Amino acid sequence: MQKLNQGKNKISSIMAPSLAVLLLCGCTMFQPAKTTSMSTYSIEVKLDAAGTGASEQTMLVATPEARPGYDSRRMVYTKRPHELEYFTQNQWVDSPARMLTPLLMQALEKSGKYRAVVSSRSLVAADLKLETEIIRLQHEFTTRPSQIHLTVRAQLTDIQGKRVLASREFNIVEPSTSEDPYGGVLATNRAVKTLLQQLAAFCAAESKAGN
């Protein structure tokens, strides 16, 4: 009987650690998986009305395009020339090109230079057409402080006259106030505001020159 009890004790001592491991694994299996949080940002710009003196022209704002690498919600940064990298825990709420569309319309409307500003989905006949393309929008860590580099190409067309009035490339650099994605977001908003102001002035000057 004593030998039998000793055998049971040995078995219990062997099984106890195994049972503990199984219980631990079981608890782990039923725990929720850890997820990495994603921070999402938007491009927001406040613009003031620039003036009056609207013409009888209607401006059509085409949906902006973007070069490969800049055509998604992913936020681009660079640490050396020609190499694009993407933040893994930070992204835009939408692609920068799509977020730029309403901002372009707002800037042109507030310029007070047109009878109406319409999108490409409108059925209204327009006199002028603004087309834009994002060539570059990246957070560059190649300098101190780091900076946002925004490059946009714009083309203004006289729809009725079927001719290009002007084309221009806008190149804007805005220093970041902090060496992190959020600092880049704030700098992007400032860069976009500068872009919108320059684009509005460009359209007003070239559409007047084309008359």
pLDDT, tens only, 53-96: 677 899 999 999 999 999 999 999 999 999 999 999 999 999 99
Q: How high is the pLDDT of residue 125?
A: 87
Q: Domain limits of the chain?
A: 1-34, 40-209
Domain 40-209 - what CATH class?
A: alpha beta
Q: Which of 94, 151, 110, 100 is nearest to 130 (CA)?
A: 100
3-state secondary structure of 168: strand
**Kind of pairing, strands 74-78 and 128-140?**
parallel
Q: Does residue 202 carry a pLDDT above 80? A: yes
Cβ distance 159 to 62 under 8 Å?
no
At residue 130, what are phi and psi to the nearest 5 degrees? -110, 120
Instruction: Indicate the pLDDT class of residue 207, thresholds 50, 70 and 90.
Output: confident
Mean pLDDT confidence for 183-203: 97
Q: How high is the pLDDT of residue 21?
A: 46
* Whole-structure pTM value: 0.81
At residue 156, what are phi and psi to the nearest 5 degrees? -110, 125
Query: In angstroms, rounded to a whole number, what is the distance separating the alpha carbons of residues 205 and 200?
Result: 9
Instruction: Indicate the pLDDT class of residue 49, thresholds 50, 70 and 90.
Output: confident
Q: What is the mean pLDDT of the chain?
A: 86
Q: How high is the pLDDT of residue 55?
A: 79
Q: Which of 199, 77, 73, 183 is nearest to 137 (CA)?
A: 77
